[in-house]
Structure 1
Amino acid sequence: MTVIIAGPVYVEPADRDRFVAGFRVVVERAREHPGCLDVAISPDALDPGRINMIEHWESEEALTAWRKVAPAPTAEAAFDASGVRKHVVARTTGPFD
């Protein structure tokens, strides 16, 4: 089953751009990893302290394999990721199906 990890991450607005930049290598390598369908860690267009996170994996096994080799981000800041959730998806269709 497909796995999606998604949700908002909150940091101090002054830390946001540095925090996102610190995940650049993580995103680059994740997108190259077998079973990764997409990964994005992006600043929110409206909230200067919010970062939008999305990971899309072919399977739980692909995600587990990635977590074993994932590099650490290069920037650190206090953050709140309590809104990020993991979704195990049994069926996927087009957005208007």
Structure 2
Amino acid sequence: MNSNKVIIAGWYTVEAKKRDEVVESFEDLIKRARQAPGCLDLAITADPIDPTRINNFEFWESEGDLGAWRSVANPPKKISPIIEIEMQKHEIKQSGPPFN
């Protein structure tokens, strides 16, 4: 099994008038994820510039931890339809300080 850390990062858009409601609907999921084994960070946030955009960031210790979380995540069932999405999974082979 791959032991690289994993980042899921990207964004999606919904109707501007529904964005804050969608973000709030993920509050319980975020709290539970941050307590899940292998979760280093998870955030689903309203973009400060684009009123339709929701930013998504997940940082996991391993692909196995991500998969285990996905099997029990139980995301909100009813959210506003997604208009556009750009999301990628990244396997981290090496990390270091962001500034030298």
TM-score of Structure 1 vs Structure 2, range by shorter chain: over 0.9
Matches within 5 A, 1:1-97: 1-73=4-76, 75-80=78-83, 82-97=85-100
Q: Residue deviations 1:17-40, cap 9 Å, x none?
A: 000011011100000000000000
CA distance in structure 2 between the partners assigned to 1:95 and 1:87 by the alignment: 17
TM-score scaled by length of structure 1: 0.94
- Structure 2 gaps of 5+ residues are none
The verdict on how the C-alpha distance between 1:80 and 1:5 changes in structure 2, with shifts beyond 3 A counting, is farther
Distance 2:16 2:71 in 1: 31
Aligned-CA RMSD value: 1.2
| Alpha-carbon distance in 1 for matches of 2:56, 2:21 | 15
Q: Is the 8 A contact 1:22 1:74 kept in 2?
A: no
How many pairs were matched up? 97
| Unaligned residue ranges in structure 1 (runs of 5+) | none
User: Contact (CA 8 Å) 1:4, 1:87: kept in 2 or not?
Assistant: yes
User: Does the 8 Å CA contact 1:25/1:73 hold for their aligned counterparts?
Assistant: no
Superposed structure 1 runs of 4+ greater than 6 Å apart:
none
The share of aligned pairs that are identical, in percent, is: 44
User: Following the alignment from structure 2 to structure 1, what is the Cα–Cα distance between the partners of residues 29 and 81?
Assistant: 18
